[in-house]
Amino acid sequence: FAMGDALYFEYKCNFGRREPDTLVLCSDWCPKEEDKPLLVVACSDGALTKFHDEGEKIGVESRRPSQPTCIAWGPAPSFFLAAGWHDGVITLWDEKNTLPREDNSVHERHPITVLKWSPKGDRMVSGDRNGTVGVWKVVDKGRLICQCTIQKGKVAVTHVVFRSNDSRAATADQAPSFYFSGEDGIIYCGTDDSSRCREIFKMDGMDGSASGTAVLQYLAENDELVGINDHVIMTRLKGPDDSGQTVVVTTAKLSARADDRMLALWAAPGLLATSSGETMIRFWNLLEDDNYVVRISDPKVPPDDTIESIAFNPAKRLLAAGTRKGYVLFWLFGAEQAA
């Protein structure tokens, strides 16, 4: 299809022979800028497969006797690829795709629920369904060293974000701090030192009832944390500061559906895009305190179809949405709004 002066083509990834009930569980693009970007796809049969951007299969599949639950490609300069598995194992590949290093010492057969790399790639945080958080450092070209483990409750850890623009005073060798949260809605701030991990906020419903975390994003421009819970209440937090204090900047009930999984990503500095099983994508400009929506307007899409996934390409300013009935929609962003 054409959008402006650009042409876009659809390419099908050829997995080869697969069982009919095999499902794609997760995928991630390598952040390294190349002529042919790499995509890794994890399937329910325990296979991880790499493809070029035109669907060409690259190399040999990596396979384990467990289902992959999440994958995360790390940033420059190392571009490590990490995968978490249902049996609690974490595997790591270096850029040359040598044999993976495995570690099962932290999560002890509890399914991995989240993997998150620090912006510089010097740390990785993992979480599992039992509430255990692992903080990892990579040494010797791909060997995982657990810096510490954190246990806060027994519910699944679902979200991790790094505080990449920490306003506190820091030394050159200080490890980056991060926030994590999960099904109980409690937000923690942690580092390499588990004794310094502390609860900073609990996202409850309007009536004070428990509410899990649906979205956790870091607003680097303001050094703020943005959280949305299952009751669709958005809270913006600042801190903790040097004295350990955390300040609530704003709390607001959003006009969005609360009975579907909330999707969220940054579409520009301070512009948060969200969707929750609707026919629209909502935008929240947190720097200018404004909001607006874009809706499915293509007549080929059935009126009862809903958005199930979203992705944003910052280089081309292109927002994509996948629907429940298999349609893919695109919006091109101009200087001020979507077109």
Residue 104 belongs to some domain of the structure: yes
Residue 159 belongs to some domain of the structure: yes
> What mean pLDDT comes out for the span 312-323?
92
Residue 73 belongs to some domain of the structure: yes
Which one-letter amino acid corresponds to residue 211? S
Per the DSSP assignment, residues forming a β-bridge with 329 are 321
DSSP, residue by residue, 181-245: EETT-EEEEE-S-GGG-EEEEE---TTS----EEEEEEEGGGTEEEEEETT-EEEEEE---TTS-
Per the DSSP assignment, residues forming a β-bridge with 217 are 226
H or E segment to which residue 272 belongs: strand 271-275
Residue 303 belongs to some domain of the structure: no
Residue 11 belongs to some domain of the structure: no
Residue 205 belongs to some domain of the structure: yes
Query: pLDDT at position 338, please?
Result: 45
Mean pLDDT lowest for which of 69-83, 90-104, 259-273? 90-104
Per the DSSP assignment, residues forming a β-bridge with 293 are 282
Per the DSSP assignment, residues forming a β-bridge with 303 are none
> What mean pLDDT comes out for the span 13-42?
89
Taking a C-beta distance cutoff of 8 angstroms, is the pair 138, 92 a contact? yes
DSSP, residue by residue, 24-38: EEEEEE--S--SS-E
Taking a C-beta distance cutoff of 8 angstroms, is the pair 30, 53 a contact? no
- In terms of DSSP bridges, do strands 307-313 and 318-323 run parallel, antiparallel, or are they unpaired? antiparallel
d(CA 96, CA 115): 21
Residue 235 belongs to some domain of the structure: yes
- For residue range 192-220, list pLDDT tens digits in order: 999 999 999 999 988 888 899 999 999 99
User: Given a cut of 70, is residue 145 above it in pLDDT?
Assistant: yes
CATH number reported for the structural domain that contains residue 237 in this entry = 2.130.10.10
Domain count, the chain: 1
> What mean pLDDT comes out for the span 69-87?
95
User: Given a cut of 80, is residue 328 above it in pLDDT?
Assistant: yes
- For residue range 298-307, list pLDDT tens digits in order: 999 999 999 9
Query: pLDDT at position 168, please?
Result: 72
Provide the percentage of residues in the chain whose pLDDT is more than 70: 94
Mean pLDDT lowest for which of 5-14, 166-175, 261-270? 166-175
> What mean pLDDT comes out for the span 238-264?
89
Question: Which residues are CB-contacts of 69 (< 8 A; sequence separation ≥ 6)?
Answer: 25, 26, 84, 85, 86, 111, 112, 113
Res. 33 pLDDT band, cuts 50 70 90: confident
Sheet strands side by side (includes 318-323): 307-313, 318-323, 328-332
Provide the percentage of residues in the chain whose pLDDT is more than 90: 70
**What is the DSSP secondary structure assignment for residue 66, as one 8-state letter?**
S
Residue 8 belongs to some domain of the structure: no
Query: pLDDT at position 207, please?
Result: 84
Residue 87: which domain range? Answer: 64-253
d(CA 149, CA 125): 10
User: Given a cut of 50, is residue 337 above it in pLDDT?
Assistant: no
The torsion defined by the Cα of 95, 264, 218 and 113, in degrees rounded to 10, comes to: -60
Please state the pTM of the whole predicted model: 0.92
Question: Which tokens sit at 1?
Answer: 């299809």
d(CA 102, CA 55): 28
User: Given a cut of 90, is residue 16 above it in pLDDT?
Assistant: no
